[in-house]
Structure formats: C-alpha cells, structure tokens
C-alpha cells in the first residue's frame, strides 16, 4: 500500500498528556497507556470522528474510556489499528497491551539486546509498543513508569528527568521519568538493564549544569571516554556555531549491541549502536574514532534540528536529517580538517547517493510517496539533503544562513513542520526568494553540468558557458533547470587564481579570485574581462553543488590541477578524474585484447603528489587513493566487475613496481612516534603510510610481505594491524591463514573488533570467497540476528567484494537471495538493506543482469514478503 504526501491531513485527535507504565518480565512486557485526548475537528458528514490508533504485533487486554471499561463490541481491532467509532470531545483513554520483547527480532519497538530491554521507535516502532496515533505531528508530554526485577535490571531509563523511584515487593523496583517537552512518539525511548555508567557534566553557555551519562555493559565502560569527549565538544560547538543550547538536566546515551542503524536521537536518551560509542586502540580504527565523533554530534544536534523542531510527516524526513547531517559535517570539518572532511563526504555521496539517484529507487530529497518509510532513510534523504542545505549556506553566506536558521528555530520551536517552512525562514531572514531553489527538494536525479571556455585574445575576454541537464528518474521524465551554485576560479600557468571581473562590473574594487556563479537557466554564459591568456578552469570548487561536472579538460590539464589547484578539493578531484580516465582507457585496451601499459605521465604525476611535502599527509593519502572498482563501474556503459577489478589490480601492481623506492621512502618517513592515540594529524600520517604499505604489497613480492608482517607485529593499535593484514589476506599471500588465526585472538574479546575480523575475510577478492563466507556464517561468533554481523559478513561480501559477488556463475546472487529471505522473516529492515545491493541489476553486463533479475524475481514470488523487501524488489524489477 502506497502512501502519498498529497494525502496529508492533520490529526483528528490531539494528545495533551500520555502516561505509560511498563511491567517488564522475562516472558512478556505489559504496557498500560493512559492518554488525555481532545478532538480537533469533525471529520465526516455524519459528524462523527472515529479515533484510529496505530498498533500491531501486540496482545490487547483492555480498553477503558473515562473510567468505563469498554465491551469488545465498542471498538474494532484491525491488524494494524484499533478503532473507536465516536468518542466524546475530550476523554481519558486507558489501553492495556502486552508483547514479547524476547521474540522481537525486528529491532523495532520494544526488544531485547543481550541482557537488556531497549526500544527503537523511529519511524513507526511505537505502534509495536502500544496503540497510539503514531505520527510525528501528534506531540505530547510523557510520564513513564518502568517496573522490573531489581537484580537483573537495576538501571531503568526513559526520556527526560527521573522524578521518582524505589523498591517494590517480590524483588522488583520501579523508576518514574518525566519529559516536559512535548514530543512525537518516535522520540520515545526506554532502557532496562544492568549497566555500567561513565559520568561527566557540562556547563551550558547560560551556566546551567547538565549531567552527562554514558551507559554500557560494565566491562565496556572503559571504552566510552572518546564518546564522552565527543559529546562535550558537540555541545560546545552547537552553542558557538549556531547558538543552540541543551535544555534538560541530563543527557544520556546507551550503547546496545543489536541495532539496525547507527544511533537514535530520542529526547534526552540517545540509543546507540556500540560501533558508534565504544573505542579503544585495540578495537577501533582511526576512521571509527572519527565515526564516533560524527554520530555523537549528529544525534546531539538533533535535539534542536529534529526534536525541538520536528517533522510534520515522514515525507519531511530530510528536514531533520539533511539539516542534521549538514551540521555534523560542519562540526567534523572544524575538529578534523575541512578539506579532508569535505572530500570524504563527497566520496560517500558519489559512491552511494549518485548510484541511488540513477537507479530504480531514485527519489527526491522530499519523497512524494512510499510503501515502507524505513526504506527512505537513504543517502538521498540524508546526504543529498545535506548538500542542499550546504548550497543554501553557499548562496546566502554563512551569516545569512545562520540568520535563517535562527529564524526557523524561533518560529517553529515546539512544532512539527515541513521543508517549506525551513525554506520560508531562509527567505524571510535574507530578503531573498528561493523559488527555483526548491526544485532541489522535489526533483530526483543528479544534474549534469557541462562547461566550455572560449577566449578572445584581442579583447582579453573570457567566456565560460555552463549548460545543465538532468536525466529522467522513475515517475519524473522531464526536469526543470535547477538553481546551481558553481564556485569558480581561473588559474594562470603558475596555478595562481586570476581576478574574476565580470564584464560591465566597475573596477574600483579589486576583483575576487573565486566567485560563486549561479546557473539558473539551461544554458548561461559568464563573461570576464582582463584575461590575458586562456586559463585552466577550476570549477565547482569544494564541490559547491551535488552535480556531475564535465569541464572538458584533457589529461594534461587534469595533471596540472592535481599538482597546482589552490582548492584542495579540486586538487583531489582532478587526480581522481585523471586516474579514472587512465583506468577506463586500460579497460578498453583489455577489451580489445591489447597489451596493457600504464602511461608514464600518470606515474610521474602520482610520484609528484606522493612527494609533495606541501600537501598535508591526510590529503595526500586521499589524493593517492585510486578510484574504487565501484567508481569505475559507474563510468562504464555496462558495469563489468571483472574488468574493473583486473584493471585496478594492474594499476596498483604497476605503481608498486615502478615507484617501489619512493613508496618505501615515504613509508619510513611517515612513521608516527610514540604510543597510539587517536588524533587527526597522527591519523593522517598513518593513512599515508598505510597506503604506501598497501601499494608496496600490490607488487606481490616477499620483501613487502615481510615489511607488512613486521608492521603487524609492531602495531599497538587496530588501524595499523588492519592495514598490515588487509593486503596479505586480500592478496592471498603466504602468511594469510596464520594471520587470520592470530588476528582473531586480538579481536576475540570485542564484538566490534570481531566485525573487522569477519569483514576482512568476506571482502577478500579470492576465488574461494563464497565458500569462505558460508563457513564464516557458521562461526560461533556470527549471528544472523545481529545487524553488525550481517553487515560484516553478508554486506562485506555482497557490497564490498564486487569481483566475487558478481561471479559469472550467479552463485553470489543466489547466496544473497537466500540470505535476504532468511533475514526477512526476522528483520525486514536489515533484509531490505541487503536486497538493495542487487537493485541496480540493469547497469551490469547482460549475463550478470539476467542472473540478478532471476534472483529478484524469485524473491518476489515468496509469500509473506515484508513491505520493506517488496518495495525495493518490485521497484527494481519494474523501473525501466
Ligand atoms: N534518526 C536516526 C538518525 O539518523 C535514524 C533512525 C532511523 N531508524 C530506522 N529504523 N529507520 O540519527
Ligand atoms: Zn539523524
């Protein structure tokens, strides 16, 4: 059943208060909900307004209206809701239900993770806890009582402030929590367990003291310090950058091992996947430390962009997610390094969102329909949504954007609103219309921009012509032109950006060397005066818009920009584009059966970058990372995983042999002195050094393997260990099996470390990959019930091992289909994420496409398919 944005209607009943009482037992959980409700308006002609409460997968015990227990014929219980025909204008409703959290494998609603009870309500999980108007525009203050066995569950948590607690008969205990901020049901949370706690405090800018509490299993508390530091940094940063202060007396985070996503911003009580909380040098890599900073910040920032101001309906999801991703990206950019962060954010966008935008499940940042909302927590809603917010900041300037955001929070604090209200606030605060800009929210697809330069030496005039187009996406065959900010510079032969004076502009003030050109029409030309020679264009600097740019540069120009562009993003970009072209040329040569030869100019440019000591090591590591196989496949007419793998391996091996001395020198030069600690500068050096090591091993010589073995044995941290063994295990080098066994011992005591032990094997591009993956799934530490393990094994193989997953036999696809069906019965969200790995089957080589199509069809014929999987599979098969 499809839901449409155009069908939105305000809720017929409001809830002015909700009281919940949870009685938790080993076999069941009993929930008593007491609602104060008021009718908002008459609905049908008969003047009746039926009350419809969402709910499913529960046992209903009783319904009591204004103290009167209702007979079973006074209401209707449907599979997904409870209907009371015509209640009075205002009334108190008490509903008693129960469920079995221990059997709830969907990890949605109230469920168990190990020894604890926890919840996940976004988007529509609350309806598995009790019957309720489970929609974000119904907001109410919550009072929650939790009762449980005292010895097993000494920690009882919910949103807001703890106002009461104590002992009960029979060795039980209770706690009462009150959240004064009205909130939608998706922000409700509850935790009961035997947990350790790391405590700290934060003084807000206005001088209020906030208790900070990080809960985890007792033995994991020692791994919470990085997360705590991240939380304090986030709180300070949001005050300084956006003037946003925290509002409750306590901020709690609980780490749980079984969680579908990264984390959840429940008011005052965030629940986190352990992957984004726990870290020590032996269990977490540098990039996982960064991931913790960014997810802690993300959930914290939601307190304003999401909780204080929330979404009217789920079509507005990007209102909170796009904005909050933008905010966490800006935070990371301030604490790590701006350019490094920007490049990494764009890599994610390009590798995940661009393909999504070009595939059968493409949708606008503000979708207009869905079957299952859980399928819309996508790269488009999150990451493209963040790019759209970033463009607003680019167009309005930092100050203008801040004014707009202040106005948005001021106008809508305590409300559930739409994307439209966000844009209106930006317009009102800046006195500027953003009519055309709104198209970014409603048109799907990645726009393409083509740039052409022409120079007239006599008049010293340069003309830059930009032309945009956007491919059709499902349901949208025609697109109107977008409003695209294009940050532009023109470089002279020394790589200096020249002044950009638009024709007709006064020359009283010095002209800027970078300007944001605004492309609005399908084609526009910009004319610049005083340009003596044809420059090299540096366009879309900092990736100023989520588009595909064709600047029509040749390899020599790309090499020049790779070496000289003063915009760090475009330096990286030019290197990537140069490498991509070289590799695609080799793919073509391989297809013709020609002998392969890696261009000397490319090797020279690569060497120059490696040796450019003016370039920060972290940036250098990024600039020297070859485009992925996935990236190459995106650029082929039909994706050929075998060709992409063969060519990328060939180029790596060539660089290894031809730059061996230089790589070895850099490897030694970038050693990090002293014991491991996570710090961005150290992480950058490690990244560059480990990249050199990886390339040295690509030549498959035994001296390099010895170097890696020493690297492994001398390592005092996960980053270096993983870097040392990955090329050995992925290359199937002689020490591989021994290292797998040894690495297991390092990982055995931590579930998050074990995930890396699993995924390094599942992603090894070796001929026996699939049998190995099947064997891993029988390992005692694997569980199909745990999403992190599913990602570490099935995800790592099907998403991170293209050459083996796309084996011409089709065995990889049959495996995935089998796993999707097994998962779907228990955890539809996890199943849908996995099946999406086949959704772009039409992009592939014919023989592969047909094999994938067959498996998708096989899945579709199963009965009892979840909405989640059904939506992805049917859209994939039906889209042209
Ligand atoms: N709001 C959470 C976040 O981005 C994501 C939770 C989504 N959960 C889900 N089951 N769809 O921070
Ligand atoms: Zn979020």
pLDDT in tens, 407-454: 999 999 999 999 999 999 999 999 999 999 999 999 999 999 999 999
Helices (H), 109-256: 225-242
How far apart are alpha carbons 77 and 787 in whole angstroms?
32
Q: 297 CA to middle of ligand 2, Å?
A: 10
Q: 187 CA to middle of ligand 1, Å?
A: 10
pLDDT at res. 508: 85
Average pLDDT, the chain: 98
From the alpha carbon of 260, which atom of ligand 1 is closest?
10
The response to whether residue 264 sits with its C-beta less than 6 Å from ligand 1 reads yes
Kindly tell me if the per-residue pLDDT of 519 is higher than 80: yes
Whether 299 is catalytic is: yes
How far apart are alpha carbons 786 and 799 in whole angstroms?
18
From the alpha carbon of 263, which atom of ligand 1 is closest?
12
pLDDT tens digit sequence for 288-312: 999 999 999 999 999 999 999 999 9
Residue 560: how many other CB atoms lie within 10 Å: 19
pLDDT-based confidence at 569, cuts 50/70/90?
very high
Query: What average pLDDT score do residues 806-811 get?
Result: 98
From the alpha carbon of 108, which atom of ligand 1 is closest?
10
- What pTM was computed for the model? 0.98
From 134, 184, 261, 267, mutation site for ligand 1 pocket: most ligand atoms within 8 A of C-beta: 261
How far apart are alpha carbons 856 and 817 in whole angstroms?
7
The response to whether residue 374 sits with its C-beta less than 6 Å from ligand 1 reads yes
How far apart are alpha carbons 718 and 756 in whole angstroms?
9
The response to whether residue 682 sits with its C-beta less than 6 Å from ligand 1 reads no
Kindly tell me if the per-residue pLDDT of 45 is higher than 80: no
pLDDT at res. 701: 83
The response to whether residue 321 sits with its C-beta less than 6 Å from ligand 1 reads yes
The response to whether residue 299 sits with its C-beta less than 6 Å from ligand 1 reads yes
Return the ligand number nearest the Cα of 186: 1
Q: 321 CA to middle of ligand 2, Å?
A: 5
From 123, 264, 833, mutation site for ligand 1 pocket: most ligand atoms within 8 A of C-beta: 264
Q: 376 CA to middle of ligand 1, Å?
A: 10
How far apart are alpha carbons 101 and 128 in whole angstroms?
10
From 106, 121, 377, 385, mutation site for ligand 1 pocket: most ligand atoms within 8 A of C-beta: 377
* Cβ(253)–Cβ(231) below 8 Å: yes
At CB < 8 A and 24+ separation, what contacts does 747-750 make?
Answer: 747/283, 750/278, 750/282, 750/283
Catalytic one of 124, 265, 290, 299: 299
Kindly tell me if the per-residue pLDDT of 463 is higher than 90: yes
Residue % of the chain over a pLDDT of 70: 100
pLDDT at res. 555: 98
Kindly tell me if the per-residue pLDDT of 859 is higher than 80: yes
Which residues are 145's β-sheet partners? Answer: 21, 176
How far apart are alpha carbons 541 and 562 in whole angstroms?
13
pLDDT-based confidence at 44, cuts 50/70/90?
confident
Q: 157 CA to middle of ligand 2, Å?
A: 21
């Amino acid at each position: 059943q499809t839901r449409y944005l155009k069908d939105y209607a305000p809720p017929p009943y409001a809830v002015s208060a909700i009281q919940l009482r949870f009685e938790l037992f080993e076999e069941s959980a009993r929930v008593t909900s007491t609602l104060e409700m008021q009718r908002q308006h008459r609905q049908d002609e008969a003047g009746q307004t039926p009350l419809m409460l969402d709910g499913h997968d529960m046992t209903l015990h009783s319904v009591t209206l204004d103290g009167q227990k209702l007979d079973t014929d006074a209401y209707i219980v449907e599979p997904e809701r409870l209907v009371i025909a015509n209640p009075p204008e205002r009334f108190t409703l008490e509903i008693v239900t129960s469920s079995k959290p221990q059997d709830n494998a969907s990890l949605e609603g109230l469920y168990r993770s190990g020894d604890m009870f926890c919840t996940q309500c976004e988007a529509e999980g609350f309806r598995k806890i009790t019957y309720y108007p489970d929609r974000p525009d119904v907001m109410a203050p919550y009072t929650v009582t939790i009762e449980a066995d005292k010895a097993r569950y000494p920690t009882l948590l919910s949103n807001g402030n703890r106002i009461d607690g104590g002992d009960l008969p029979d060795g039980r205990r209770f706690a009462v929590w009150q959240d004064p901020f009205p909130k939608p049901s998706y922000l409700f949370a509850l935790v009961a367990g035997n947990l350790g706690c790391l405590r700290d405090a934060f003084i807000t800018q206005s001088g209020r003291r906030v208790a900070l509490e990080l809960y985890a299993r007792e033995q994991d508390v020692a791994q919470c310090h990085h997360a705590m530091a991240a939380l304090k940094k986030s709180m300070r940063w949001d005050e300084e950058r956006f003037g946003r202060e925290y509002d409750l007396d306590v901020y709690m985070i609980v780490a749980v091992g079984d969680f579908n996503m990264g984390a959840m911003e429940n008011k005052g009580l965030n629940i986190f996947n352990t992957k984004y909380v726990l870290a020590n040098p032996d269990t977490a890599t540098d990039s996982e430390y960064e991931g913790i900073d960014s997810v802690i910040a993300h959930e914290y920032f939601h307190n304003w962009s999401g909780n204080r101001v929330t979404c009217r309906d789920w079509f507005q999801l990007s209102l909170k997610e796009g904005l909050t991703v933008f905010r966490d990206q800006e935070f990371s950019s301030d604490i790590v390094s701006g350019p490094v962060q920007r490049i990494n954010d764009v890599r994610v966008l390009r590798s995940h969102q661009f393909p999504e935008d070009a595939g059968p499940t493409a949708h606008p940042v503000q979708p207009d329909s869905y079957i299952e909302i859980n399928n819309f927590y996508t790269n488009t809603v999150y990451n493209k949504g963040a790019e759209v917010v970033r463009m607003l900041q680019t167009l309005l300037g930092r100050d203008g954007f801040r004014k707009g955001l202040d106005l948005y929070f001021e106008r809508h604090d305590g409300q559930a609103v739409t994307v439209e209200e966000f844009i209106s606030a930006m317009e009102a605060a800046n006195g500027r219309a953003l009519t055309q800009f709104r198209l970014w929210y409603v048109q799907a697809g990645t726009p393409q921009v083509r740039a052409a330069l022409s120079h007239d030496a006599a008049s010293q005039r340069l003309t830059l012509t930009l032309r945009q187009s956007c491919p059709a996406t499902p349901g949208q065959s025609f697109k109107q032109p977008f409003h695209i900010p294009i940050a532009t510079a023109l470089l002279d032969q020394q790589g200096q950006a020249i002044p950009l004076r638009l024709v007709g502009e006064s020359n009283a003030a010095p002209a800027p060397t970078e300007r944001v050109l605004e492309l609005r029409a399908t084609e526009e030309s910009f004319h610049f005066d005083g340009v003596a020679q044809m420059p090299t264009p540096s366009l879309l600097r900092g990736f100023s818009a989520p588009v595909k740019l064709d600047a029509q540069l040749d390899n020599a120009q790309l090499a020049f920009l790779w070496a000289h562009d003063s915009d760090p993003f475009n330096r990286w970009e030019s290197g990537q584009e140069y490498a991509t072209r070289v590799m695609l040329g080799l793919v073509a040569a391989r297809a013709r059966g020609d002998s392969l030869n890696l261009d000397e100019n490319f090797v020279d440019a690569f060497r120059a970058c490696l040796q450019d000591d003016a370039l920060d090591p972290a940036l250098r590591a990024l600039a020297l990372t070859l485009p992925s196989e996935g990236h190459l496949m995106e650029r082929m007419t039909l994706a050929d995983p075998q060709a992409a793998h063969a060519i990328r391996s060939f180029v790596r091996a060539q660089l290894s042999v031809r730059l061996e001395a230089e790589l070895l020198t850099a490897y030694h030069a970038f050693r990090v002195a002293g014991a491991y600690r996570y710090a961005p500068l150290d992480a950058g050096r490690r990244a560059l050094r480990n990249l050199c090591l990886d390339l040295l091993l690509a030549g498959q010589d035994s001296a390099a393997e010895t170097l890696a073995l020493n690297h492994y044995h001398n390592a005092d941290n996960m980053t270096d260990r993983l870097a040392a063994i990955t090329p050995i295990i992925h290359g199937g080098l002689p020490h591989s099996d021994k290292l797998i066994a040894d690495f297991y011992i390092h990982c055995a005591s931590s579930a998050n470390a074990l995930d890396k032990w699993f995924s390094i094997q599942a992603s090894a591009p070796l001929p026996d990959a699939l049998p190995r993956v099947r064997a891993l799934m029988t390992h005692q530490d694997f569980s199909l019930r745990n999403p992190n393990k599913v990602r570490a094994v099935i995800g790592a193989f099907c998403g991170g091992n293209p050459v083996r997953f796309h084996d011409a036999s089709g065995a990889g696809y049959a495996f995935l289909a089998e796993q999707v069906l097994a998962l779907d019965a228990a955890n539809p969200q996890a199943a849908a994420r996995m099946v999406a790995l086949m959704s772009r089957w039409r992009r592939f080589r014919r023989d592969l496409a047909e094999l994938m199509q067959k498996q998708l069809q096989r899945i579709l014929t199963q009965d009892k398919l979840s909405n989640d999987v059904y939506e992805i599979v049917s859209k994939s098969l039906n889209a042209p």
